[in-house]
Structure 1
Amino acid sequence: MALPWSSDISFKYFRWEIQGHVDREVWKQAGDAGMLCKNIPAEAGGHGADFFSAVLLWEEQMYCNAIGSSFPLHSDIVAPYIAHLGTKEQKERIIPKMKSGEMIGSIAMTEPSAGSDLQGIKTVAKPDGDDWILNGSKVFISNGYLSDVCIVVAVTNTEVKKIAYGISLFIVERGMKGFTRGRPENKLGQKTIDICQLYFDDVRLPKDAVLGEINKGFYYLMEQLPRERLLVGGIGQAHSEFMFEKTRSFVNDGHASGQPLSNSQVVQHKLAELKTDICFGRSFADQCFRLYNEGRLNSSMSSMVKYWCTDLANRVASECIQLHGETGCMWENDVSRAFIDSRVQSIYGGSNEIMKELIARDIIS
């Protein structure tokens, strides 16, 4: 594995896959290297770099096939909620530790009956004096097992016609009584990202655990989801480029019947198709990065880039495996791992079927 952290990374990577998560020291190493919370404002406790610096970090991780890293989730999905919505105390207490890798962040939306659609949320927080009592559970939570700080989406007003308009965000931290988590799930791919179930059994939350305003959670999620979808799409695009370059090198070096594989017209045409698709994806992804940086990326375009680039990653992965032949089916092969790791990209962050619904809704209206 061409990953950057140490010379014995292959052994460590296999061990991380078996245990279902990287070691906590990896997070601290990433923090020491300045890889975390890059785009979070300095006044909020982050590095204060521009958005494109964060994009470069996503892409460089994909170019070394480190899709089994949840640094982007931590830095570019979880941390922005706290940076934009948190009180001065919340930001000062949490973000510097997220920046250093001392605290690991997660966000808990998904439930057994609420995936891409938030209407099915059953986790409830009820007021008790100045505190809130949280009950419920979440599933498939990335960084859930290792996380020290988790943004939990919960219903706080059951009287509204649509549950989405009665939800709030809470900061739930490791060690709070009644907050437990399951073991890391054994997943199809991205095995070094810990994903688990979270359980909340009468968790007492002080009033300063509320993130933003009560019953405004849906609006906050809608504000941040375009960034999340752009991140997932950007990762899919860069991962496609990684797989293509690995495959291009393979067909130039590999031989069949005494000739380089790249001499075959069939192989040449397949590479031409892939390269063209990848270039179209890159052009669109870069346009969306610019629009987001200017504050002009709308929900429809963020859904488009998420849907297109993650579908692209799956198509490229499948074709690259085919071009590698039996070699591509060996677990030690980078493209083999990339093929498995790519599959979930069209599901998480909102399934691509939901992305099409959102795009179509904007077209029809």
Structure 2
Amino acid sequence: MSMDALSRTAYTEDHEAFRQTVRRFMQEEIATHAAEWGDAGIVPKAMWPKAGELGLLCPTVPEEYGGLGLDFGYNAIVDEESAYNGRVATGFSLQSDIVVNYLISYGSEEQKREWLPRMVSGEVVTAIAMTEPGTGSDLQGMRTTARKDGNHYVINGSKTYITNGQNADLVLVCVKTDTEIEPQWKGVSIVLVEADREGFSKGRNLDKIGQDEADTSELFFNDVRVPITNCLGEEGKGFIYLMSELPQERLSIAVSAQASAQRAFDDTVEFTRERKAFGKPVLDFQNTRFTLADLKSKLQVGWAHLDWALARHLKKELTPEEGAAAKLWHTEMQWEVMDKCLQLHGGAGYMNEYAIARAWRGARVMRIFGGTNEIMKELIGRKL
């Protein structure tokens, strides 16, 4: 079953027309290179301008900064088609759904004019550096500092697990500009660091158990000097900025989880229809049909919930705990679908030449990044 067979309520005809452009790009330019890029451990930077030319990057950027001025629904379509038809972690969603919002919402006029047009075109690849060795989801515990020296910051510290880390031309770095203030979150700021700054270096392209094609890096800052004008928004407001953008980030993860789960299910129905055991298709066994029926029911519920969440977000009504709940539910459902679908592939499911094996490995991180699902439960529970 193609996603076209779904009855969606979140999108207009314009959205769906855009989907066709995205789908062709994902099928022709992305999916065909999945194995090659997985072996290389990176998506070539040459793909970014190609995506930018078709309007796939940062569609919400206002026209005055070179964008299309569209709503998040267009981002969601890129996420869905990337997960369903591209099946490659390109890094596009990090730029379009997460990083660009910080610049649109909090950037100075100079920062917006400098970076937004080139993010839209794909000329510039961005990353956001929050996580540090030993801190994980605890952003208040970060140790990377930015000390004032005249009209510059001097940045020291390190970050890890940074998506787009190898390809990045610009990194939004979360730092402590005040290490003494209490509570500690009041000392967090976000500073723009260009990749060619002296003292800034990219470490290993980290070896992961899934999403092999996604470059994920260590970053190091050794007396990196940047102008104070590189501070995003107000100094000391970084933690507030981070918290305010999390509902969209978590909705973006939920969208990708749902679409990739649907693709795994669709592939498995086809596989079990073709594969024979004891003289009949695997799909004809009651266990197979019951397992797939259960998964189909959950996918149906998932699409309805996703449309509800998208509609809420387009009206700017999606709350942080609703975003957390979406990320929690859809990624847990995705993992159940992936695991059961791999099982129905039998021994073939454990072979990387089958798409389900790569999808299963790639899905495991979805319950971790964007805040672990345990943290999601904590955030939802605090509002009970």
Deviations 1:34-76 (A, max 9, x none): 2111122223332212211111111011111524221111111
1:228-307 pair list within 5 angstroms: 228-307=249-328
Match of 1:4 in 2: 27
| One-letter amino acid of the counterpart of residue 206, structure 2 | E
Match of 2:153 in 1: 132
Give the ranges of 4+ consecutive aligned residues of structure 1 lying more than 4 Å apart after TM superposition.
none
Deviations 1:243-265 (A, max 9, x none): 11111111122222221222111
Shift of 1:159: 2.1
* Contact kept? 1:45, 1:91, Cα under 8 Å: no
Shift of 1:6: 4.1
* RMSD (Å) for aligned C-alpha atoms: 1.5
Residue-pair matches, total: 360
- Partner residue of 1:144 out of 138, 159, 165: 165
* Distance of aligned partners of 1:264 and 1:80 in 2 relative to their CA distance in 1, 3 Å threshold: same
Q: Which runs of 5+ in 1 are unaligned?
A: none
CA distance in 2, matches of 1:216, 1:240: 37
CA distance in 1, matches of 2:275, 2:153: 62
Match of 1:17 in 2: 38
Match of 1:223 in 2: 244
CA distance in 1, matches of 2:36, 2:342: 25
- Partner residue of 1:203 out of 195, 215, 224: 224
| One-letter amino acid of the counterpart of residue 27, structure 2 | P
TM normalised by structure 1 equals 0.95
- Partner residue of 2:340 out of 291, 294, 319: 319
Shift of 1:208: 1.8
Match of 1:87 in 2: 108
* Contact kept? 2:103, 2:232, Cα under 8 Å: yes
Match of 1:189 in 2: 210
CA distance in 2, matches of 1:66, 1:270: 23
Deviations 1:313-336 (A, max 9, x none): 111100000111112222121111
Match of 1:50 in 2: 71
Structure 1 residue matching 2:254: 3-state secondary structure: helix
Structure 2 residue matching 1:134: 3-state secondary structure: strand
Are positions 1:163 and 2:189 aligned together?
no
CA distance in 1, matches of 2:28, 2:204: 26
Structure 1 residue matching 2:143: 3-state secondary structure: coil
CA distance in 2, matches of 1:14, 1:182: 24
Match of 2:383 in 1: 362
Deviations 1:114-137 (A, max 9, x none): 211112100000111111111110
Match of 2:369 in 1: 348
- Partner residue of 1:113 out of 108, 119, 134: 134
Structure 2 residue matching 1:359: 3-state secondary structure: helix
CA distance in 2, matches of 1:318, 1:13: 21
* Contact kept? 2:27, 2:86, Cα under 8 Å: no
CA distance in 1, matches of 2:119, 2:199: 23
* Distance of aligned partners of 1:266 and 1:65 in 2 relative to their CA distance in 1, 3 Å threshold: farther
Most deviating of 146-155 and 328-337: 328-337
CA distance in 1, matches of 2:308, 2:46: 36
| One-letter amino acid of the counterpart of residue 294, structure 2 | E
Structure 1 residue matching 2:345: 3-state secondary structure: helix
Shift of 1:14: 3.1
* Contact kept? 2:34, 2:87, Cα under 8 Å: no
* Contact kept? 1:65, 1:239, Cα under 8 Å: no
CA distance in 1, matches of 2:29, 2:216: 24
* Contact kept? 1:251, 1:262, Cα under 8 Å: yes
CA distance in 1, matches of 2:374, 2:88: 22
| One-letter amino acid of the counterpart of residue 185, structure 1 | L
CA distance in 1, matches of 2:172, 2:205: 19
* Contact kept? 1:22, 1:193, Cα under 8 Å: yes
* Contact kept? 1:65, 1:242, Cα under 8 Å: no
Shift of 1:93: 1.2
Structure 2 residue matching 1:182: 3-state secondary structure: strand
CA distance in 1, matches of 2:65, 2:328: 32
TM normalised by structure 2 equals 0.91
Are positions 1:64 and 2:63 aligned together?
no
Match of 2:6 in 1: none
Match of 1:176 in 2: 197
